[in-house]
Amino acid sequence: MSTASVSLRERFGKVLLLHGGRSAEREISLRSGAAVLNALRAQGIEVEVVDADERLVERLVDSRFDRAFIALHGRGGEDGSLQALLDLLDRPYTGSGALASALAMDKQMSKQMWRGLGLPTPPFMQVTAQTPWEEVLDRVGPVVAIKPNHEGSSIGISRVGSAAEYAQALTLALRYDQQVLAERWIEGAEYTVSILHGEALPVIRVETSHTFYDFVAKYQANDTRYLCPCGLAPADEQKVQSLALAAFAALGCRGWGRIDLLADAADNFWLLEANTVPGLTDHSLVPMAAKAAGLSFEALVIDILATSERER
């Protein structure tokens, strides 16, 4: 074992890797966890792997570990509940704290925070099965995104431009969440900014043949293009990075994460959502941005693990 591996093992102690879970993003979380596990073990770090099932609380209480690497996406891992439990157990963990995680997972709350601070985000409203399409038209716009309020990976999202499409989209979104958001549809380029230790990594532009960057485009399609360099002028890329950092800080996020944005035809940038536990698969955006910044996947995983080293 190399000296570097010994020092990392001593530095971090025993790491509990949490993945899987019961959210709609379970399969992506399993893939993220497998990639992280390989990276940690390749560097000599002691790891115990836990699939976050119904026995999670019992296993956390019974396990002896020094820190947790959270690779859980969606509810139960990214919404603040796991973070709050680890706080109660006085165990350090990667990424944002409980409150920031909860705010970021709640699209409506995060957008209200951004709007209150003067940060640009598309007009929106919460809708229910009883909300008429005419009200959405009046308050949000002629074309909207209907999305579950507490899901990630573009799960349950639809582009809507008519009453018939609206009814179908509501039915789909309500399968995943009782809270549904209608957000003005911004037609334009999609960008994402990964954040690590308070710094923005190179911006990635996403291009897809789909109507938008949906679940299939993210994890299954082979024709989705990821452009890094993103094609923006240096001043515009810095503007996007600064906006992403401001949005991240506004929610109290820390450590690492990702902010997704859209640019309209007039080159105005709009904040879509924050991700406090982004994917770490072979299709994921944070590893791509890290690679563009000169970080290997193994180095990225160590940097993420290091976000657990903070005063609590």
Q: What is the pLDDT of residues 225-280, one digit of tens each?
A: 889 999 999 999 999 999 999 999 999 999 999 999 999 989 999 999 999 999 99
* Catalytic residue check, 309: no
pLDDT recorded at residue 219: 54
Domains of the chain plus CATH, in order, are 3-94 (3.40.50.20), 104-120+187-298 (3.30.470.20), 124-184 (3.30.1490.20)
* Catalytic residue check, 275: yes
* Catalytic residue check, 38: no
* Catalytic residue check, 279: yes
* Catalytic residue check, 273: yes
* Catalytic residue check, 260: yes
Q: What is the pTM of this model?
A: 0.90
**Residue tagged active-site, from 97, 176, 273, 308:** 273
| Mean pLDDT computed over 200-204 | 97
**Residue tagged active-site, from 153, 158, 194, 284:** 153
**Residue tagged active-site, from 154, 219, 254, 257:** 219
* Catalytic residue check, 310: no
Helix ranges (DSSP H) in the chain = 3-12, 26-42, 56-62, 81-88, 98-105, 107-116, 133-139, 163-174, 215-219, 234-250, 285-292, 297-305
Residue 112 carries which side chain, given as an amino acid letter? Answer: Q
255-273-97 Cα angle (round to 5)? 30
* Catalytic residue check, 97: no
pLDDT tens for each residue of 121-142: 999 999 998 999 999 999 998 9
**Residue tagged active-site, from 79, 151, 183, 260:** 260
pLDDT recorded at residue 240: 96
